[in-house]
Structure 1
């Protein structure tokens, strides 16, 4: 156990004294929710069902993201779970720890894509593209979600694209601490 603590301490000190790069930035993010109103294209008829038994308004999803600089102008984003239901289109569920990305013109962009082949005539492709337009003490941008099925066996599953807005604020903590906004010690 003592050797593990020593190894962790050496890695931590090496990281602090190493390349002089910045530490990971942690953001508390408010993400617009996927709702029936913004997913009309994700239904077979191209319109939202006429009956909606349960609707909530004026709510956002709260997330905690970590962004850090890699080498050679590469950056990494840990957005947490990428799991979105888009009406009758294929759900977007992409697993992993972090997305690799970087500068594209004036934005910071992170894209991940999952291709699932059920057969040669049923191929599902889903993607999530995080475009960060403002990155500093605050964070602003959009998340473009895309879901498509290609092939004769898709059974009318619609393809759709949804864009959600997000905003966030950099928080003072480290990536090993769970942020608690209760204000107490």
Structure 2
């Protein structure tokens, strides 16, 4: 009788442990989804600023229509991107063309002193910082999640529960890893 009770207690502890492992994995998966959502919030903020930037510089940069069109095109592609890898690639492209428009705008002294441009510069700088922090948080959570699903014994529960590794939000091109310079 004592052996049966011990066996029942051991089985109960194993079930509780299994439930705790599974719930921990679910929690981390939800945190990765939330962290990616926070990146999207900040990227949306950036997307909303870009048309204002283009409108502000349009009058000053009449000879740079091609650059302005590239910015809008890159913004639209970034907004349409889905998934972590596709989003990261589109954001790399957008950062690159934004850097180009910022570099060209330095050639226009009147534009550099425009109050709207100064305000947009500050907003973009703030947004770039928030995007950077959101990416870092996402990558930290994804690393914890991926480590958990690959570590024993939680890997047993991850495999049986259908938990799949998540992609890190990485920028491929080393040049594009640099922050966009928004100084006028």
* Greater relative CO (CA pairs within 8 A, separation 6+): 2
Greater Cα radius of gyration, structure 1 or 2: 2
Under a length normalisation based on structure 2, what TM-score does the superposition of the two structures give?
0.24
TM-score under structure 1 length normalisation: 0.24
- Structure 1 or 2: larger strand share? 1
Structure whose residues are more often helix by fraction? 2
